[in-house]
């Protein structure tokens, strides 16, 4: 999967958009693509290269984060993020594309705005 394919998949999420707010100078000035939700600007994916490999940081339920790290060598505690709630997925490792897509969708669902409950009157 290429960087563009990863970005394009993220853009299939409703109101998703790509942003380029910073560069990681410690990683050889690699560009970080930040995928956000348009309604709240929250990030659901950070796409970057590290050690010559395309990676994506994705938000995850803490219990599932641990299980994914045990199931796949290509899933590790997130680089530059809260390691309880975020994983780094190495693209092209042992994580199937369908599983990467599922994790992107899950990350998106964790950050999207919640509907307010109607109050009883």
From residue 43, alpha-carbon distances to 18, 22, 104 in Å are 10, 14, 11
Residue 118 lies in a domain: no
Instruction: Return d(Cα 114, Cα 36) in angstroms, integer.
Output: 15
Residue 119 lies in a domain: no
Dig out the tokens for 83 from the structure.
């390691």
According to DSSP, the residues that pair with 43 across neighbouring strands are 36
From residue 48, alpha-carbon distances to 2, 27, 39 in Å are 11, 9, 24
Task: Write down the pLDDT at residue 114.
Answer: 83
Residue 17 lies in a domain: yes
pTM for the model:
0.87
Residue 89 lies in a domain: yes
Q: At what angle do helices 3-10 and 97-111 cross, to 10 degrees?
A: 40
Q: What is the pLDDT along the chain (121 residues), one digit of tens a residue?
A: 999 999 999 999 999 999 998 765 555 556 889 999 999 999 999 999 988 999 999 999 999 999 999 999 999 999 889 999 999 999 999 999 999 999 999 999 999 988 776 666 5
Task: Write down the pLDDT at residue 21.
Answer: 85
Please count the structural domains in the chain: 1
């Amino acid at each position: 999967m290429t960087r563009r394919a990863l970005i394009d998949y993220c853009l299939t999420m409703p109101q998703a958009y790509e942003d380029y707010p910073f560069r990681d100078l410690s990683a050889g000035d690699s560009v970080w693509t930040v995928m956000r939700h348009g309604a709240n600007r929250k990030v659901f994916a950070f796409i970057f290269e590290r050690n010559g490999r395309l990676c994506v940081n994705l938000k995850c339920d803490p219990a599932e984060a641990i299980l994914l790290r045990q199931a796949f060598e290509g899933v590790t505690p997130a680089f530059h993020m809260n390691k309880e709630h975020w994983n780094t997925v190495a693209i092209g490792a042992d994580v199937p594309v369908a599983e990467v897509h599922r994790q992107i969708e899950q990350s998106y669902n964790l950050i999207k705005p919640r509907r307010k409950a109607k109050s009883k009157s």
